[in-house]
Amino acid sequence: MASENRSRIMRRAKRDVDNISHMVQSILKLSRLEADVVEFDEKDTLLSEIVSEAADNVMALCDLRDIRLSIDEGSDKDACIHADAYWQCEAITNIVKNAVEHAESEVKIGFYRYEMYAEITVQNDGETISDEDKKHIFTRFYSGSGQPADSIGIGLSLAEAIVRHDNGYILVEDCTKDVLNEKNECSGTRFVVRYL
C-alpha cells in the first residue's frame, strides 16, 4: 500500500514538473515573439503536415481523456500557406489541445483552401464558450470558466500571436450543426484559423 501511494505521489510530482516546464517554455516563446527576436523560416507549407503533427502532439492527451480525434476526409490535401511550419504547428497544437481539454468525446479538424484564403478548423463537442470568455480568450493569463485547474491561460494567447505574425487571425464560434451531443443537441466550440 505504501509503495502504491509513493508511486502515485511520484507520478503526480512528474506531471506537475512537466506542467511547470511546459508553462515556462510557452511564456518564453510568447516573450520571444513579442520582442520580435524570432527568426521565422517561412516557406510554402502544407496544411496537412501542420494538422497531422498537431494531432500527433495531442494524441497522448486524447488517449488519457478518451477523446476521439479525427481529421476531416474532405480536407484539401494540397492546401498550403507561406509560413514557418514549426511555429504554425505550435499554434495549431495549442488550439487542438484546448479543444481536447474541453471536449466531451470528440474533436474534428479540417483544413481548406479557398480563392482568397486558407483555413484550419478545430471543433469539439463540449460546452460552448460564454460570450464573456470569447472576448478575452486570447488574452495572456486569462483563465475562463471551465478551464482545467492547471491551466495558466498562455496557449491560446501564444497561438493567436503566431497566427497573426503570418497574416492570419482566429475566429471562435459556437459549433455548427454537424457536431451533436448524445442528446442530439448542438454543442461545442469551433476555432477557425484563417490565413490571408
Judge whether 92 and 57 are in contact, CB under 8 Å.
Answer: no
* Closest by CA position to 165, among listed 53, 90, 76: 90
Does 53 fall in a domain?
yes
Q: How far is the C-alpha of 41 from the C-alpha of 23, rounded, in Å?
A: 24
Does 32 fall in a domain?
no
Tally the domains of the chain: 1
Q: How confident is the model at residue 29 (pLDDT cuts 50, 70, 90)?
A: low
pLDDT tens digits along 125-150: 988 888 888 887 887 766 666 555 55
pLDDT tens digits along 63-73: 999 999 999 87
Kindly report the average pLDDT of the chain as a whole number. 81
Task: Give residue 193's pLDDT.
Answer: 97
Does 94 fall in a domain?
yes
Range of the domain at 156: 41-195
* Backbone φ and ψ of 67, nearest 5°: -105, 130
Does 101 fall in a domain?
yes
> What would the mean pLDDT of 113-134 be, rounded to a whole number?
89
Does 5 fall in a domain?
no
- Tell me, what CATH number does 112's domain have? 3.30.565.10
Task: Give residue 24's pLDDT.
Answer: 65
* Closest by CA position to 80, among listed 57, 54, 52, 111: 111
* Residue 22 in this model has a pLDDT that exceeds 60: no
Judge whether 186 and 114 are in contact, CB under 8 Å.
Answer: no
Does 9 fall in a domain?
no
Write down the pTM of the prediction: 0.78
Does 98 fall in a domain?
yes
